[in-house]
Chain A
Amino acid sequence: EVQLVESGGGLVQPGGSLRLSCAASGFTVSNYYMNWVRQAPGKGLEWVSVMYSGGSTYYADSVKGRFTISRDSSKNSLYLQMYSLRPEDTAVYYCARQYSGSYLDFWGQGTPVTVSS
């Protein structure tokens, strides 16, 4: 059974850093495109980043230069390192598997991040 479990969210001050984790089971993370998607309180879904199976990475303009996506094959996990956090980064962060380079077929339950002083 495919499962994605995010962790690492919490309260952080503006300018701070946080590292989110997404532990996968039931499939191999490095064989798929893996995404981070976020949702600010009461708002819609915002795509954040993707890591291709080959290792290429891409980011939304809103996080480029501040966030880094990575994976650890030995832990079968995906990560999102977030630096220089801003209040507008406050959101629930979801990791999601992208199947066939197309659709997001499995999602984690999300981990909340709050950026506030």
Chain B
Amino acid sequence: DIQMTQSPSSLSASVGDRVTITCRASQSINSYLNWYQQKPGKAPNLLIYAAITLQSGVPSRFRGSGSGTDFTLTISSLQPEDFATYYCQQSYSIPYIFGQGTKLEIK
């Protein structure tokens, strides 16, 4: 199975900050990497797919990058509604493993 290692597991930041979350796959997954945002008590919401493509309706302050084994989610200027938990997921092969999540908290 492909393992996904996400870091950091938690992050404190302020409104307006730029933050970066990293996801590393245990083997190459090409660009089969997706990012989701989840708020408490809600279902996950797709942000970015195929490593770099912004899902329709997602603000442009979210950016994905990477390919192969190393991927990054960057939020350029944090807004209050961005404080949530973020997960990466590989869709290269079954099982479609998720990263363990990064909880983004207000400083």
A interface list, Cβ under 8 A from B: 35, 37, 44-47, 50, 58, 60-61, 94, 98-99, 101-105, 107-110
Supposing A102-B50, A102-B91, A103-B91 touch, asked if A35 and B43 sit within 8 A by C-beta, the answer is no
A46 cross-chain contacts in B, Cβ below 8 A: 98
Does A110 contact B34, Cβ atoms closer than 8 Å? no
28 A-B residue pairings within 8 Å (CB atoms): A37-B44, A37-B98, A44-B99, A45-B36, A45-B89, A47-B95, A47-B96, A47-B97, A50-B94, A50-B96, A58-B94, A58-B95, A60-B95, A61-B95, A94-B43, A102-B32, A102-B34, A103-B46, A103-B50, A104-B34, A104-B36, A104-B44, A104-B46, A104-B89, A107-B44, A107-B45, A109-B42, A109-B43
Contact present for A45 and B95 (CB under 8 Å)? no
Residues of B within 8 A of A (CB): 32, 34, 36, 38, 42-46, 49-50, 55, 87, 89, 91, 94-101
Instruction: Please name 13 further chain A to chain B contacts, defined as beta carbons within 8 Å, in addition to the given A37-B98, A61-B95, sorted by A numbering.
Output: A45-B36, A46-B98, A47-B96, A50-B94, A58-B95, A102-B32, A103-B34, A103-B49, A105-B46, A107-B44, A107-B45, A109-B42, A109-B43
Q: Which residue of B lies closest to A60 (CB)?
A: B95
- The interface residues of chain B lying within 8 Å CB-to-CB of A44 are 87, 98-101
Chain B residues closer than 8 Å to A37, beta-carbon distance: 44, 98
Q: How many A-B residue pairs have CB under 8 A?
A: 58
Query: Roughly how many angstroms separate A61 CA and B55 CA in the complex, as a whole number?
Result: 30
Q: How far is the CA of A62 from the CA of B24 in the complex (A)?
A: 23
A102-B34, A102-B91, A104-B34 as given contacts; A110 in contact with B43, CB under 8 Å: yes
How many Å lie between the Cα of A105 and that of B87 in the bound state?
A: 14
Please give, as numbers and ranges, the residues of chain B lying within 8 Å of A47 by CB-CB distance.
89, 95-98
